[in-house]
Structure 1
Amino acid sequence: MPMPAILPFPERASVLLEADREGRDAAVAALQTSMLRMLTGLPPGKLRLTIIDPVGLGDNFSAFMHLADFDELLVSGRIWTESAHIDRQLANLTEHMENVFQTYLRNQFETIEEYNEYAGEVAEPYQVLVVANFPVNFSDTAVRRLVSIASSGARCGVYTLVSVDSRQQLPHNFDLEDLRQHANCLAWGGDRFAWQDQQLGWLPLSIEPPPEPAEFVEIVRAVGEQARDTRRVEVSFDRIAPAPEEYWGRDSRHSLDVPLGRAGATKLQDLHLGSGTSQHVLIAGKTGSGKSSFLHTLITNVSLYYAPDQVEFYLIDFKKGVEFKTYVTNRLPHARVVAIESDREFGLSVLERLDAMLAERGDLFRKHEVQDVAGFRDAVPDEPLPRVLLIIDEFQEFFVEDDRVHQQASLLLDRLVRQGRAFGIHVLLGSQTLGGAYSLARSTLGQVAVRVALQCSESDAHLILSEDNTAARLLTRPGEAIYNDANGLLEGNHPFQIAWLGDETRDQRLVAVREKADAEGHNNGEMLVFEGNVSADVTSSRPLAECLSAVPLEKSVPSPLAWMGEAVQIKSAPAVRFRRQSGTNLVVVGQHPEQALGVLEAITLSLAAQHPPDAGCQIVVCDGSAADEPGGEQWQRLAELLPHQVEVVRPRKVAETLAAVAAEVARRDSQDDETAAPVYLVIHHLGRFRDLRPGEDEFGFGSSFGGLDAEKTVSASQQLVSILRDGPALGIHTLCWCDTYNNLNRWLNSQTLREFEIRVAFQMNASDSSNLIDSAIASRLGDHRALLYLGEQGTLEKFRPFAPPPEEWLEEITGRLRAGATA
């Protein structure tokens, strides 16, 4: 009666097949059948194959490569044939076994099965090493590793399926018995394989052949499909988070300790900062490795364990995206600075602020004769001194150019890393890669003792850990990481799985933190927010709000200030002052109509707020926008809302309007009237005003033009030249937007352009940038960025231009101006 021949998995699942030339094909078929049985007998994704086929060059097992279409790790990327590759794969398996023994099993678990019963979501998959035609292409080192895997692998969940070519000479100092004693041994007997076992040898064995190729592929692909998402492991955030009644229960005076995820079956991995050399953190992992998840888990859990007077965050994100936006939306009370898609200049200004804090804390410590945060809190218990976590994602962005920002950032980061430990300032640097020509000095990185390595390349594994520690290259799934608090040395490796914090769960926790802060009256100051992925918000402009709060005014401000956006550094917003002197005209150049409108509207509102409506101030808007364009009716709407004297004209009426303004310039000039009420001429979309474009015979005009002769016909372009040249000193200023520098040159010659001392440049090519602002830097501007050039001082400042104001805010502000006019 036939009985099934069964491998005792997982106790003794390894197989050794010995065959000569005639039995080689049968050995390959037996290996295929065994592999297929294991794949289909275990849960999807719980078995990984490492296949070595030096004679068949991978053809013997090519059907299994369909698994790679779903997850390359199911077959270790490919089938290995070359000696060097075989050495590397066996080294990877032995390193995996070392990790299992030393990190997971220790003296607590006898086998990987026992460990997996407790490990749950972080259970280790089984590994099967398949070798055809041993010992072809096996070096002496590879042979020793194979013996090690065969002898010790079963406890770690690593098994071998090996076919031995009996015609091949065995390696020197190798005894096949070293493999036989750890496997189920079968030998080719001429027509079939027979058990090499005293108890089973007398039983005839018929190994089931593998399925037909089409069915074989179908089965393999079905397994791969089921295993597609099994590599994703989610450790619940609830496992590491405190219970609500334990929120803010920890004290950071001596150190900061917060769980990050699971380390093995029964332990949690903590981040520990503030004692010994564990002061700063370096985090690296390729795209999709879980670096962002790690940062969210860290920030949220610190916020749950520590109160805002225990820990403060300075968050800088250089990459494209809005990872840190949630901390703004949920008003995280611990956050002092949040930068989203930050500029290098803003990041540098944050470093400068922390450098100043370093100096301030140094003075405090000397004053109270203390050495550290704990000593200060003991000496001055009523004065909170929170630890500071500076988190910079993609910190390499500081060093992409060899310029002042690069140099200053290097110096400041080095000082913060070397001196911050004594003053409770901790730096956490994240990056996708540490390679490249521009980076932070290795001497500075060497001071960062705590390393968190996620999935990365072998070269980055060397950089994030150390030259002799490449354990990070063996990480296989998102969120799987190595925590190392020994400057990257091998003995400091602690593998763990980062807890998964979904967006909804994160927001719920942050709302709870915000509510607790409000209930307990925690207010550590205003959060400074930089959102580089959007235009600046005029409604949140502090200087403009202060200007508007002064309404109503008794008289006009003589030299009013105007604001057009927000700084890209921690400093006051860029502003221009409209003095009564030559050249005080403004031109905006660039193909960003919405932002150009936002800049001009903000300036117009700023100026209007500094002139009482009954003081005679006039605003003349030459509006070239079409009615069907976004914001096409914005100027008309502003004119209706402002209580000032505002006139909006379309291109066909521009000549008449400019004639009136030019006549006013001439009148003031002839009467030396330098105190008349200001006039602001706004030209929106210069290229739409054909009447303002000079004829070919007019480009030399301007040097001798004086008062207007009533008997002489003067073109609109000549009148504009007169206004630009003579108007500013008499209180008549021009604000102009042109879409391209080429069009600007067609409408205004180089001499007339000199009358614009105030210039705003959006992104343009290097040549146009050099011609407009004496620098090619505008060619490197990104979205929502502009440059302010002040010709009188010769200065350049990058800023974020305002978006057009929303209707509700515009109605509120103009309502206050109207109320002031009637007060």
Structure 2
Amino acid sequence: MTWRTELERAAARLREAAGAADEVEQLLRDDASRLAATGVEQRRSELAERLRAAAAQAATGWLGEDLAAIAPGTPVWTDAPSTEAVRIGTAEIDDAPAFPALAGLLGKGHLVCDGDAADPRVAGMLQSLLLRITAANPNLELSLVDGVTLGQVFAPATALVDAGIAGPVATDHLALGRVLTAAEKRLTELRDIAARGQSIADQPFHLIVIAGLPPEVGTSMRERLAALAHAGPSARCHLVLCGWKQLPHRESLPAIEHATYLHCKEGEVRLGSLPLPVRLDAAPPPSLVRAVYGSRAQQRKEAGELSVADLVPEVLWSASSRNGLSTVIGRDQAGRSQGGDVEVAFDDATPHWLIGGRTGGGKTVFLLDVLYGLATRYSPSELELYLLDFKEGVSFTEFTPSPLDPSWIPHVKAVGVESDREYGVAVLGALRAELSRRAGLMKRAGATRLARLRELRPETPLPRIVAVVDEFHVLFAGNDRLAGEAVAHLEELARKGRSYGVHLVLASQTISGIEALYSKKDSIFGQFPLRVALPGAKHLLDEGNDAADGISVGQAVINDAGGIKGRNRTCRFPDASSAEDLLTGLRRQLWERRDSDVEPVVFRGFDEQHLEDDPRFADLAPTHAPVALLGRAVDVHMSSVGYQFDRSPGRHLAVLGTSAVAADMLAAAAVSLGRQHEPGSVAFEVAATAVGVEDTARQVVSELEAGGHECRRLAPGSILNAKRAKPTYLVWFGADGADGQPSALRNLLLHGPADGVHLVGWWRGARRFLDDIGGSAGREHCAGVVALNIAGNDLAAITGGYERAWEARTNRCLVIDRHAGTQTLAVPYVRPGRLDGLPVQDIPGKVESR
């Protein structure tokens, strides 16, 4: 074999980015006499030229060119390089530069140097190497360690740290330990991904550059570095390790596998087995450093950020929900160029989601991104939304009409703001009823999945339903009857929802400590494979999966496998709160495309409810079964709550509690009853014996008379003795004490309905009411009871005990119909501004002592 053949082999090795050219070393050693013969200069020149050509092919552009010759305006690469070699200096022949000295790094192995950044030659090499790698690789993560110059060698790379491409420079052994722990965790995750047969080619390279080891580094830390070097290349993790030098009287250094060694002696540098000295590259020009790092930082910022506008598809409502729902919610660190948009879905694989994060961690913003993304992709015939917020916030108010903006998101069916637990349970119950309805449709159609049912019954509207519950843990607070009902509903929805197109999103600061879920935690939360961990999320991911510990506001860890390690994807999502104008225009655009004028039901926990705003009140007309309207139910549709009067024994109504709201409820009952009788067919008698109700009584009389009804004011002493020639409603503001005639009251209660006489009365004392009607024996003589601010045990004494769970609360009442066997939590009708003008002790829900 001729030396020319051997030279060709050496050049081929360089093209493969082997770097050291072992064959060239052997060539020079074995054929020294031949090179010493005539024509040695020509042969050396030919050898150098061939090696320069090979190096130019092995490391092009940013990876191999002289940095001093590259213009600052040269763009960084947007695609990953196809080669593994990178220049670290120049090999010399007779003290003259001969060809670039290369080392295989990303995708190949590691670079280990026995010198550190305290040596200016090594410092310059590190700075040039870092610049080359950064300029050539858009998909890169850096960890920087400098235990000898305390970060000075990496000072030019500050822009990379600020952009999140590199972490803060580690300068001591503790910080180095954290770097290694993060690298080991990442390595484990990537190996788990690869073990499942998934590609890791789109994952960023992780390059750990150690300019010098801190002095406190001991044997265990060195062994960890060696272990990381051993396993790193298969998981896209590589090391540039400087200061790896055997010291006298110290333990032997562990071997660093897959490494090219760089030896820095006094006056001479050698690279691997290359038989020539190497002059290491000097630090790059500052103008080039600023240009490269600034450009890469800007690209990372642009690639990692997604605007709210990016969530909106080009064509609105163009997607079908037949097989599921999906939307883009953010962008991961791979960025736009690497296809880094993060898409999440409601489908068979991820039917339900759990979202966790501390207050201020971005839950509301994330939910807005999701909801607007879905609402722009799917029409109301493909998607329905139910939104509940159990905190004192305004998470979902912008999806509803307001005095300033009459538009709303047409997909929304019900919204709860500062919701009652009862309202949340009602929504879950309604969704469970929808499951049953769809199950019946599937059974009759012979379908097993929603997609198939939609094929078989295209005429039946079957949109997918997404129910979002923010701060859902409030729904399960304690371990009472309501919590039990909520758990039963939630378990059924979680188990069966995927089959029938009903999907849940539960958001909270934590999922731990919910007593009512202790025995159901696994069976329920096990049905929520998609986990979204925001800053401060606790117990959302699996134990040992701490991927969310280091993220900042605006970032989320998306895990589609129930929180297990190895399935995390970290992304940055847009800030919807900063795009108010865009969302306002988008909401109006969706609203204008609606095909129905039915507004979403909005339950605002502490809003007043007024009789005049009730659509049922506007539709009242004369009927043989009149109903006294009392308030709006705490249910999905905020139904009207009333009490029906007929000639059955006991059809009277008593409102109990010290609050003046009771007077407004009596007024609403009387006025609504008046609309259901022909003028002159009934009489109304109004008695006002409570202090402060005179104005309300006068308004009632005025409104009834305006409707054409006969109306009489009764004075104390004559209330129960009045002669009645026609059916009559006695509206009594302050019936405590029965006007001194309890026997007459009991006679009216017992015989009045048969004669068409009904009492609508207000008692301020629950025990007083029970005494007036004759004690427990008289319970059946007044079948209708409205509880305001009375204690549960007092109400139980009146009703027989089954309302012991009643807890009086602000702006709530309990409407009981003993004959119908119903009890309905409601928001009472009040005069506009009533709650603003009441002292605290008079607001319904503030229980007075007996």
TM-score, length basis structure 1:
0.64
Which residue matches 1:215? none
CA distance in 2, matches of 1:735, 1:307: 50
Cα separation, 1, equivalents of 2:731 and 2:352: 54
CA distance, structure 2, for counterparts of residue 543 and residue 489 of structure 1? 52
Over 3 Å counting, the alpha-carbon distance change for 1:33 and 1:734 in structure 2 is: same
User: Structure 1 residue 515 and structure 2 residue 592: aligned?
Assistant: yes
Q: Which residue of 1 aligns with 2:335?
A: 265
What residue identity is the alignment partner of 2:630? M
* 1:433 correspondence with 2:510: yes
Deviation at 1:396, TM superposition (A): 3.2
Are the structure 2 counterparts of residues 198 and 128 from structure 1 closer, same or farther at C-alpha, using a change threshold of 3 Å? Answer: closer
Separation of aligned partners in 1, 2:395 and 2:806:
27
Q: Tell me which amino acid in the other structure corresponds to 1:787.
A: L
Which of 654, 659, 666 is the aligned partner of 1:586? Answer: 654
**Is this contact kept in 1: 2:690–2:733, CA < 8 A?**
no
Letter in 1 for 2:674: A
Say which SS state the counterpart of residue 319 (structure 1) adopts.
Answer: coil
Separation of aligned partners in 1, 2:127 and 2:448: 63
Residue of structure 2 aligned with 1:247, choices 305, 316, 319: 316
**Does residue 351 in structure 1 map to residue 428 in structure 2?**
yes
Query: By how many angstroms is 1:352 displaced?
Result: 3.3
Following superposition, the deviation at residue 661 of structure 1 comes to 1.9
C-alpha distance in 1 between matches for 2:804 and 2:226: 58
2:400 aligned partner, one-letter code: V
1:490 corresponds to which residue? 565
Q: Which has the higher contact order (CA 8 A, sep 6+)?
A: 1
Written as runs of structure 1 = structure 2, the 5 A alignment for 1:419-568 is 419-436=496-513, 437-439=515-517, 440-457=520-537, 459-460=538-539, 464-467=540-543, 469-474=545-550, 476-502=551-577, 503-517=580-594, 521=595, 527-547=600-620, 550=621, 553=622, 560-568=626-634
Q: Is 1:293 aligned to residue 352 of structure 2?
A: no
CA contact (8 A) 2:783 2:819 kept: yes
Deviations, residues 331-388 of structure 1 (Å, cap 9, x unaligned):
3222233333333333333333333333333333344444433333433444443222
**Partner of residue 709, structure 1:** none
2:762 is paired with a residue whose SS is strand
Query: Of the candidates 586, 609, 631, which is equivalent to residue 675 of structure 2?
Result: 609
Corresponding residue of 1:682: 733
Summarize deviations over 1:745-802 as a string: whole Å, max 9, x none. Answer: 9999979996765433335556656556647757744433222244667754322222
Shift of 1:433: 1.2
What code does the residue aligned with 1:453 have? Answer: A
Q: Distance in 2 between matches of 1:453 and 1:546?
A: 49
Shift in CA distance, 598/473, structure 1 to aligned 2, threshold 3 Å: farther
Q: Within the alignment, does 1:735 sit opposite 2:761 as a pair?
A: yes
SS at match of 1:511: helix
Once residues 695 and 210 of structure 2 are traced to their aligned partners in structure 1, the CA distance between those partners, rounded to angstroms, is 71
SS of residue paired to 1:660: coil
Aligned to 1:321: 393
Q: How far off is 1:302 after superposition?
A: 1.3
> In structure 2, do the counterparts of structure 1 residues 615 and 533 end up closer, same or farther at CA, with 3 Å as the change threshold?
same
Whether the 8 Å CA contact 2:770–2:798 is kept in 1: the answer is: no
Cα distance, 1:797–1:371 mapped onto 2, change above 3 Å? closer
- CA positional deviation for 1:44: 8.9
Residue 582 to residue 248, structure 1, CA distance change in 2 (3 Å): closer
Once residues 288 and 302 of structure 1 are traced to their aligned partners in structure 2, the CA distance between those partners, rounded to angstroms, is 23
Counterpart Cα distance in 1 of 2:324 and 2:479? 37
Deviation string for 1:433-462 (max 9, x for gaps)? 1111332531232233333222234x51xx
Aligned residue for 2:717, secondary structure, equals helix
Equivalent residues of 2:329, 2:344 under 8 A apart? yes
Q: Using a 3 Å threshold, how does the CA distance of structure 1 residues 271 and 172 change in structure 2: closer, same or farther?
A: same
User: What letter is aligned with 2:576?
Assistant: L
Tell me how far apart the structure 2 counterparts of residues 311 and 185 of structure 1 sit (CA, whole Å): 71
Residue 812 (structure 2) pairs with residue 785 (structure 1): yes
* SS of corresponding position for 2:359: coil
Q: Does residue 659 of the first structure (1) align with residue 717 of the second (2)?
A: yes
For structure 2, which runs of at least 5 residues remain unmatched after alignment? Answer: 1-119, 134-142, 267-276, 282-300, 402-406, 835-850
Q: What's the CA shift for 1:100?
A: 10
- 2:667 is aligned with what amino acid? E
Corresponding position of 1:761:
787
Q: Which structure has the greater CA radius of gyration?
A: 2
The offset of 1:514, in angstroms, is 1.0
1:804 aligned onto 2:825 = no
Q: How many residues are matched? A: 646
What is the letter of the counterpart of residue 798 of structure 1?
Answer: L
| Cα drift, residue 239 of structure 1 | 1.4
Matched, 1:385 2:484: no
SS at match of 2:573: strand
1:490-518 deviation line (CA, Å, top 9, x unaligned): 3432222223323443232121111012x
Structure 1 residue 313 displacement after superposition = 1.9
- The residue type paired with residue 455 of structure 1 is P
Secondary structure of the residue aligned to 2:572 is strand
Q: Which amino acid aligns with 2:357?
A: G
CA distance in 2, matches of 1:634, 1:341: 30
Task: Tell me the amino acid that sits aligned with residue 490 of structure 1.
Answer: K
- Which residue of the partner structure matches residue 635 of structure 2? 569
Contact 2:548 / 2:557 at 8 angstroms: preserved in 1?
yes
Q: What's the secondary structure of 2:628's corresponding residue?
A: strand
1:603-643 per-residue CA deviation (whole Å, 9 max, x = no partner) reads 122222234443452342527565xxxx9955544444442
1:237 positional shift: 0.9
What is the rounded CA distance, in whole Å, between the counterparts of 2:829 and 2:438 in structure 1?
36
Match of 1:725 among 734, 739, 746: 746
Mapped contact 2:687–2:719 kept (Cα < 8 A):
no
Structure 1 unaligned segments of length 5 or more: list them. 18-26, 55-79, 114-125, 187-196, 202-229, 650-655, 687-691, 695-701, 703-716, 808-823
Displacement after TM superposition at 1:97 (Å)? 7.7
- Structure 2: how far apart are the matches of 1:568 and 1:511? 29
Q: Structure 1 CA distance, aligned partners of 2:223 and 2:611? A: 67
Deviation at 1:270, TM superposition (A): 1.3
Contact persistence 2:127–2:154 (CA under 8 A): no
Cα distance, 1:391 vs. partner?
A: 2.6
Deviations 1:46-81 (A, max 9, x none): 875476868xxxxxxxxxxxxxxxxxxxxxxxxx69
**Partners of 2:263 and 2:462 in 1: how far apart?**
63
**Equivalent-residue separation in structure 1 for 2:694 and 2:153 (angstroms):** 73
Aligned to 2:382: 310
Assess if the C-alpha contact under 8 Å between 1:283 and 1:452 holds in 2.
yes
Q: Distance in 1 between matches of 2:212 and 2:231?
A: 11
RMSD of aligned Cα (Å): 5.3
Distance 1:618 1:16, change over 3 A: closer
- Return the letter of the residue paired with 2:318: G
- What residue in structure 2 maps to residue 31 of structure 1? 150
Once residues 406 and 431 of structure 1 are traced to their aligned partners in structure 2, the CA distance between those partners, rounded to angstroms, is 16
Whole-angstrom distance in 2 between the partners of 1:641 and 1:181 = 98
Q: Distance in 2 between matches of 1:783 and 1:390?
A: 26
Alpha-carbon contact 2:652-2:783 (below 8 Å) kept: yes
